[in-house]
């Protein structure tokens, strides 16, 4: 980052965030390993998502086994107690055997899914272990592709995400199958259907209850509102008794407000109830689902691309970036980057270095800064070279001011 510094302490010469001077070749591997160690600290989501998916599959398979085995045991008990004829007993037992064969088939499919997800967890661990100072550049390139795929999946660019993952051979390092699970629910909500979202809530009931989620309650409210919109009041009352009443002890105020819509039509102008019938309620449900989905799998609510971009812009952001004479090399000299960085804090710089606007070389005691009459600052080497080529004349590259080399003043760095 460049920043001007005048003799009186105001900014006018180029500054950049503190960077260590070029280290000897022998120290390079140590620097790379340090960078790598910092990078690995940010890979929490990379490992947790497939692991959570793996646990979810195991739980689902366990529930299937419990349900089917319980049903078979109950069937055997009924057969033992009932007075079946020989043919009826054989038929009943054959049906139980068929049920067990179906369970075996389901367990085989579940086992293959578990093995696939376990392999994915292993592949990600191997990927992290493969990172070292020698292949850091290649590893960072793969990481960037992972971040782009994550962004595309969150933005519902599924086909593009799949093509990038396949062309880069990183299918095991991205969460396409996990996001496809979310895709079905999101598309249904966008089509004003709550059934897939309610099914998702049922599949993850224990986890959602543990996190005190009220997403299912919001879905039930919206379904009630749709019945009122269609003027099916009797069905709406029955629905409220069956599905909304159990939420009364914890969400009474919201429940009372929604049930009161029975006294209004969807065309009401009463602001309190009009907002409940607006289409944006479905957009709110989509956003709410995305948050619950990310929480369930341990994902960040923001895409990784946004997080890293914001971190980078915040590290570069200084007050000088928004001045008219900000150098073109500064990303924040571009209006698009300035908009992205607007809500971000300024970089906190404990130390800085002075970089010459002309030569891009460091200004220090060996190459001290010189101040032109117009207040702009450049390095001694750059101005010496310019004066030699122009018979002792100096031309400010920013303002076009022409002066004699003898008119410049030496600035001291404290």
Helix extents (H) in 169-279: 176-190, 195-203, 205-210, 215-229, 233-239, 248-259, 271-274
Tokens 């890979």 identify what position?
43
| Orientation angle between helical segments 195-203 and 280-297, nearest 10 degrees | 20
Highest mean pLDDT among 22-36, 102-116, 319-333: 102-116
Confidence (pLDDT) at 332 = 85
Residue 1 has pLDDT above 50, yes or no: no
Structure tokens at 130: 């493969």
Residue 15 has pLDDT above 70, yes or no: no
In tens, the pLDDT along 106-141 reads: 888 888 888 888 888 898 888 888 877 777 788 888
Report the mean per-residue pLDDT for the chain: 84
What is residue 167's three-state secondary structure? helix
Between CA 34 and CA 394 the distance in angstroms is 44
CA nearest 254: which of 287, 217, 284, 290? 217
Please give the backbone phi and psi of residue 282, each rounded to the nearest 5 degrees, phi first: -70, -35
Between CA 237 and CA 243 the distance in angstroms is 10
In tens, the pLDDT along 52-84 reads: 888 888 888 888 888 888 888 888 887 777 777
φ/ψ bin of 50: left (φ > 0), alpha (ψ from -120 to 50), beta (otherwise)? alpha
Work out the average pLDDT over 21-44.
58
Check if the beta carbon of residue 342 is closer than 8 Å to that of residue 317. Answer: no
Work out the average pLDDT over 187-208.
93
Please give the backbone phi and psi of residue 410, each rounded to the nearest 5 degrees, phi first: -80, 135
């Amino acid at each position: 980052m460049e920043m001007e510094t005048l003799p009186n302490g105001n900014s006018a010469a180029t500054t950049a965030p503190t960077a260590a001077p070029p280290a000897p070749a022998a120290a390079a591997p140590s620097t790379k390993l340090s960078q790598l160690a910092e990078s690995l600290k940010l890979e929490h989501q990379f490992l947790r998502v497939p692991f959570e998916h793996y646990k979810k599959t195991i739980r689902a398979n366990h529930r299937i086994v419990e349900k089917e085995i319980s049903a078979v045991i109950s069937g055997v008990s009924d057969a033992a107690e009932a007075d079946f004829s020989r043919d009826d007993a054989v038929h009943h037992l054959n049906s139980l055997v068929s049920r067990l064969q179906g369970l075996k088939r389901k367990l085989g499919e579940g086992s293959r899914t578990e093995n696939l997800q376990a392999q994915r967890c292993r592949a990600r661990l191997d990927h992290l272990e493969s990172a070292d100072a020698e292949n850091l550049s290649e590893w960072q390139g793969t990481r960037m592709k992972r971040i782009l795929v994550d962004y595309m999946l969150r933005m519902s660019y599924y086909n593009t995400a799949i093509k990038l993952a396949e062309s880069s051979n990183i299918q095991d390092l991205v969460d396409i199958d996990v996001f496809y699970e979310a895709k079905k629910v999101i598309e249904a909500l966008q089509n004003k259907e709550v059934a897939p979202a309610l099914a998702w809530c049922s599949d993850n009931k224990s986890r959602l209850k543990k996190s005190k989620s009220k997403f299912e309650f919001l879905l039930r409210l919206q379904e009630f509102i749709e019945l009122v919109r269609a003027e099916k009041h009797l069905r709406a009352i029955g629905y409220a008794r069956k599905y909304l009443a159990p939420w009364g002890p914890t969400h009474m105020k919201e429940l009372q407000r929604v049930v009161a819509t029975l006294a209004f039509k969807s065309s009401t102008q009463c602001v309190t109830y009009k907002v409940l019938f607006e289409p944006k309620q479905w957009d709110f449900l989509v956003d709410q689902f995305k948050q619950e989905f990310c929480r369930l799998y341990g994902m960040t609510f923001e895409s990784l691309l946004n997080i890293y971009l914001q971190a980078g812009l915040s590290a570069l952001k200084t007050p000088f970036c928004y001045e008219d004479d900000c150098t073109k090399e500064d990303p924040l000299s571009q209006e698009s980057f300035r908009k992205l960085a607007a809500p971000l804090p300024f970089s906190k710089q404990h130390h800085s270095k002075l970089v010459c606007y002309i030569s891009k070389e460091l200004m220090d005691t060996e190459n001290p800064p010189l101040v032109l009459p117009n207040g702009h600052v450049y390095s001694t080497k750059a101005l010496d070279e310019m004066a030699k080529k122009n018979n002792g004349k100096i031309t400010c590259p920013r303002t076009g001011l022409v002066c004699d080399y003898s008119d410049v003043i030496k600035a001291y760095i404290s």
